[in-house]
Structure formats: C-alpha cells, structure tokens
Amino acid sequence: MIPNPIHKVLSIFQSCEVRALLMGGQACVFYGGAEFSRDTDFAILADTDNLERLGRALMELQAEVIAIPKLTLDHLHRGHAVHFRCRHPDSTGMRVDVMSKMRGVDDFDLLWERRTILQGEDGTIYELMSLPDLIQAKKTQRDKDWPMIRRLVEADYAACRSEPTPQQIHFWLKEARTTALLIELAGAYPEAAKKILPKRHDVLQGALSANELDVEAALTAEEREQRLADKAYWEPLKKELEQMRRQS
C-alpha cells in the first residue's frame, strides 16, 4: 500500500484527468526497486488543455510553485522541471515535480502508448512510465540513479526469468548493469546478445566471452559517457535558470 500523501496526489491527478505518467522514485517502488522519496515526479503532456487540467489538480492539492521556473508551456518544452509543494491536509509537504522533455527519452505520446497501468485495491488507477522508459530517464549524472537502474533490471529479471518473452530478453541484455547477470544472459541467449551487439558492443562482447574484467570496464565507460552527456545537456538549462533568478 502506498503512503496516503502520495495516494492523494495520484488520485487527484486521476480525477482531474491529467495526462501524466509517474516516474522517479515512486515509480521505482512499483517496479520493485524500493526508493523512499518525498517527491512525486511526473512526465506530463505539455499542451494547453492538459495544463488546464494540471492547474485544477494543483489547486485541489493547494500546491504552490517553490522554485524557478514558473509553470508555462515554453519552460516545459525547453526541458525544465517545475516544482510544487502541496498544502492539502492529506498531502502536506509533498513535493510534486513535472517535466515534459528529458534527455534521450521519447516524446510524451510514445511514452503514453507504452505506459504501465496498475489498479489499486480502492480502484485508483496508477499510470506509470514503462520500465524501459523509466530506466532511460534515469541515465543521469546523479550518483543514486545508477544503482537504481541495476536494481530495477535485476528485479524484473527475478520476476520474469522463468518464462521470458523475447522483448524481456532484449531489455535485460540492453540494460543490465551487473557483470554476473550479463554473462549469465549472454550464455543463455547468445543469439539475442549478438543481435544487440552493435548497440552495446563492448559490454556484450565481454559478456559473450565471459570476461568479467572486460564487462566491468565497459560498464564503467558506458556510465561515464552517459553522465557526461547528461551534464552537457543540463548546462544550457542551468544557465537559463540562473538568468531567470537574476531577473526575478
């Protein structure tokens, strides 16, 4: 059962028909990678109608913007996150962050098509970013995101390994970050690994050869590349935020 403050946010988003997908730490809990967070992060559709629905939901939550920038279509389209703090008695102190554009992540329409839909015991519908999309969104410069990616893939493998689909095997080979698991997967599904090889050459070549040192080195290089790419992506956005602060 999810904590009541988070449930309140999700249920109000649902009742206001906000087109939004839960992501971040709260989504990780649903996927088996436990991560406590007082934040509730959403990917949202950035259009006029949906922002009106979002505005109604935020009004019910008695939520206020707590940082720069303000909630506008332009800020969302440029890739900024907008941060709110809820004052509703049932969600006091809960922070809600919304974004519509992320590095390396598909447009919202595709995310929506691939979303995961769950239903709580009370009938509340939870619409989550799909696991592959969530993992892509977590390839950031933040230290905490990389262990979470590893745990999410391992949890999915543990849950589905007995009768995996080709799509799940592809996902595990593409995203696993544990040396032993990668070697196990490459040994069990060598043809699938060879098909993915061009997209993840050094990691899977090492896994196919059962060379632990090569896999570990390739994983380290892969993570470093993604961290640097994320840092470069955020540099101009940080400069925009700093300019907004000076002008406010």
CA 150 to the chain's CA centroid: 13
Pick the most confident of 33-42, 122-131, 235-244: 235-244
Mean pLDDT of 209-238: 98
The two three-digit tokens of residue 243, written as one number: 């300019």
pLDDT digits (tens, 9 = 90+) for 168-216: 999 999 999 999 999 999 999 999 999 999 999 999 999 999 999 999 9
In 37-68, which positions are buried (b, 16+ CB within 10 angstroms) versus exposed (e)?
eeebbbbbbbeeebbebbeebbebbebeeeeb
> Can you give the three-state secondary structure of the chain, one letter per residue?
CCCHHHHHHHHHHHHCCCCEEEEHHHHHHHCCCCCCCCEEEEEECCCHHHHHHHHHHHHHCCCEECCCCCCCHHHHHHCCCEEEECCCCCCCCCEEEEECCCCCCCCHHHHHHCCEEEECCCCCEEEECCHHHHHHHCCCCCCCHHHHHHHHHHHHHHHHCCCCCHHHHHHHHHHCCCHHHHHHHHHHCHHHHHHHHHHCHHHHHHHHCCCHHHHHHHHHHHHHHHHHHHHHHHHHHHHHHHHHHHHC
Q: In which residue ranges of the chain is CATH 3.30.460.40 found?
A: 4-137
Mean pLDDT, the chain, whole residue set: 94
More confident residue, 33 or 75: 75
Specify the CATH number of the domain 4-137. 3.30.460.40
- Say what the pTM is: 0.94
What is the structure's pLDDT at 236? 97
What is the structure's pLDDT at 41? 95
pLDDT digits (tens, 9 = 90+) for 9-33: 999 999 999 999 999 988 998 998 8
> Counting Cβ atoms within 10 Å, is residue 191 exposed (0-12), middle (13-18) or buried (19+)?
exposed
Cβ neighbours of residue 203 closer than 8 Å, sequence gap 6 or more: 182, 215, 218, 219, 222
